[in-house]
Chain A
């Protein structure tokens, strides 16, 4: 691939499969058997890294004033209390709902526009300036304008988040659409595969690495922006609640909500996105 302004992470670029060796069909099985311990080792490292983080936190808490940095146990206790009162689950559910809708809208619109821009030069030329503008508008500006123009409601909030995310999805997917192999599309035409089959089984699979890169980057960006949107103009959700805690200088509350929310996002990444990516990329293993 040529030099790109916005390339997805190296791991996401569809690497050509390794040079085919004179294979026996048993080779893949052997490679998989070797891969298993490495995978377990990796998980051990992930757990170790989490433990080190908690230890450092504890150490910092014991040195600092407990009001500025409460220790992990205090925060854990607070999570328990907020969960028991149902305040935390309620706010969390509202925020996650907004994240999910904004994520879906941003991925769908961004992917469609990105494919169109990668496919047709005229569309690309027409929309390119909008894209640069969209990439560079501060999130805060879109949020304020959406609230001013569309009112302090959920749709304005979701729209503001989606508008912030769409340009980055477009850029990544456009790069993928430009890298689509015309020779494989020619196979589809030669065999008269039809638009639907060509799109779903020949075109889209080539975009999968780019879509996955956009999704993973998107999730982390969106949940940060959703909190700002909630802080500025909603009266429920994690962002709103953080603002309340800030007014009362309630660091334990802030850390409790942050931790739970980050945990949910980590779980989505680890239990949904990463396995999905591993499955879709199995052929590259």
Chain B
């Protein structure tokens, strides 16, 4: 991966009447990376993507692609191509003509068009289906045609608008790996919009999280999960137990905190949150909490609770444990090692956490 930025968005804003869809968005995308814009529906991520594609002009700010200012440049003149949420396969054309559509606009020679079309179809594992009609395709095949139709143009950036949301779960997981493989092999920058955190995490090099038209955090999936910048991001990506905490001491890279569950635990400061002076919020991922019948050894903090709910997911079991002094039960998730559910509702249990699992989420603002 080189260090050049293929897309630069600087102070981009988009207003529709009085509604601000995207505000002050600044973002640099590296050449050859798989980038996802993640957020709940209506957060402005699709509008941001459409401003890169050229379907929408920013009200304010600048978008440059490959060093070129895109202001006033229409979608058909931009070095980007898009895979639409509905796939937008032309229903009156067969697969071959769909994929050849853009190449014909470029006035290439017939033989070259045919070569590139069959190459593109091979790439998405639809080789030889040129003459298949659009209405004879399954959902997965349509998705592949849409990919081939965009990739055959050899764009500098491929834009994907919720590309997997129309597929069922199994197919979706398979396509996640395939798209990832394609992106790696081609080295083209992919920008994907999705509301599915797992999709974003499994496929992307970096993820930008958006809420209410604002880009909140841009990081690798691992960093987003381990060091979210605030409570919103922490609860949107994965599950999280939140605990209000008092800070008794602040050191260079650590804090000493006390919560209802543990006292004077020294935890790492989170570089992604703004450090303040008051009480903070800490978070613990459910899978990093140990649950046991007796007080477990080797944990930095242990505390007691009562199981109030057991949810069996197959690959793991979620226990909701009521802890004295907390409004909401603590959620602990345990892998299903031996096909056994160890605890039942009403059982009295011990919980254990390591200090490294306790995430500093910054000042505790009322949510």
The answer to whether A and B assemble together is: no
B residues near A (Cβ < 8 Å) are none
A residues near B (Cβ < 8 Å) are none
